[in-house]
Structure 1
Amino acid sequence: MKEKQKRKQAAALSYQPEWTQAPQLIAKGKGKVAEQILEQARKHGIPIQEDPALVELLGNLEINEKIPEELYRAVAEVFAFIYQLDQQKQN
């Protein structure tokens, strides 16, 4: 028997420190919605990091909900990854 393929999931975060104390979930979805989220990210040059465990946890949040403190470290690693990419592009 073939192993059932898991549907793709995606989550998008936003962090604007001048307005919020923590990053917040601005989009999430599975299947076709996940593909649309990823397509929009690529279209707008937004870096994508694959972390299935983190996406699974973020999927439990509501849209516009701030991430809980338990996820600060994992999300900080994502933002550090994005910062490094931005620095590489500038050099």
Structure 2
Amino acid sequence: MSPPRLTDDNRASAVAIAYNKEDAAPRVVAKGYGTLADNIIRTAKENGLYVHESPELVSLLMQVDLDAHIPPQLYLAIAELLAWLYALEGGEKHRTLLANGQQD
């Protein structure tokens, strides 16, 4: 994976989402800028979670409250990402991290 790009304010940003079958939609389970974003990315990688770089999607997800479901406008984009990831990993993981920013 290439290093994440910088945001307009030159700080890394990251959003972690999780999906459980019982939920109506995926939830934002972590998000942050700068050092917090770096920690989210590092923790995801240490736990074997997929890190996906998508500046536009991160920008939209940063507007979602922590522990809130993603809005219906993002269902298709997130569903496509999760379906691809599900197929890639043989259906074992339902979590991913979206990152946009520079990582140390």
TM-score by length of 1: 0.84
Q: Matched residues, percent identical?
A: 37
- Higher strand fraction: Structure 1 or Structure 2? 2
Poorly superposed stretches of 4+, deviation over 6 Å: none
How far is 1:82 from its partner?
1.5
Query: Which residue in 1 is equivalent to 2:10?
Result: 6
- Higher helix fraction: Structure 1 or Structure 2? 1
Query: Which residue in 1 is equivalent to 2:95?
Result: none
Quick one: distance in 1 between partners of 2:68 and 2:41? 20
Where 2:53 maps in the other structure, the secondary structure is: coil
**Aligned 1:1-91 pairs, distance under 5 A:** 6-18=10-22, 20-87=23-90
Structure 2 gaps of 5+ residues are 1-7, 91-104
Structure 1 gaps of 5+ residues are none
Deviations along 1:31-62, whole A, 9 cap, x unmatched? Answer: 11110000000000001110110000000011
Aligned residue pairs total 84
Task: Tell me the C-alpha RMSD between the 2 structures.
Answer: 1.8
Which has the bigger relative contact order, CA under 8 A and spacing at least 6?
2
Quick one: distance in 1 between partners of 2:45 and 2:9? 24
TM-score by length of 2: 0.74
Q: Which has the larger radius of gyration?
A: 1
